[in-house]
Amino acid sequence: MALKKTSAKSGGQKQRSLWAEVWRRLKKNKLALVGLGFLSILVVIAVGTIVIDFVTSQSVYNNYVIKQNLRMRLQGPSWQYPFGLDEFGRNILLRMLWGVRYSLFMGTFAIVISTLIGGVLGALAGYYGKFADNAIMRFMDILLAIPSMLLATAIVAALGTSLTNVLIAIAISYIPTFARTVRASVLTVKDQEYIEAARALGAGDSRIIFKYIIPNSMAPLIVQATLGVAGAILSIAGLSFLGLGIQPPTPEWGSMLSGARSYIRDGWHITVIPGLGIMLTILALNVVGDGLRDALDPRLKT
Q: Is residue 1 part of a domain?
A: no
Q: Is the pLDDT of residue 56 over 60?
A: yes
Q: Is the pLDDT of residue 4 over 50?
A: no
**CATH number for 138:** 1.10.3720.10
Tell me the average pLDDT across 55-83.
Answer: 90
Which stretch of 132-136, 143-147, 159-163 has the lowest confidence by average pLDDT? 159-163
Q: What is the pLDDT of residues 28-52, one digit of tens each?
A: 888 989 999 999 999 999 999 999 9
Answer whether residue 180 is part of any domain. Answer: yes
Interior/surface letters 134-154, b for 16+ CB within 10 angstroms, e for the rest: eebbeebeebbeeebbebbbe
Whether 57 maps to a domain, the answer reads yes
Q: Which of 116, 139, 184, 206 is nearest to 131 (CA)?
A: 139
Alpha carbons 229 and 278: distance in angstroms, whole number? 12
What's the structural domain count of the chain? Answer: 1
Which amino acid is residue 97, in one-letter code?
Answer: L
Alpha carbon distance 16, 22 (integer Å): 10
In the chain, what percentage of residues exceed pLDDT 90?
A: 30
Query: Is residue 189 a part of any domain in this protein?
Result: yes
pLDDT of 199 strictly over 50? yes
Instruction: Examine residue 13 and state whether it is found in any structural domain, yes or no.
Output: no
Per-residue model confidence as pLDDT tens digits over 258-285: 888 888 888 889 999 999 999 999 999 9
The range of the structural domain enclosing residue 117 comes to 29-295
Residue 18 lies in a domain: no
174 touches 114 (CB < 8 A): yes
Question: pTM, whole model, 2 decimals?
Answer: 0.83
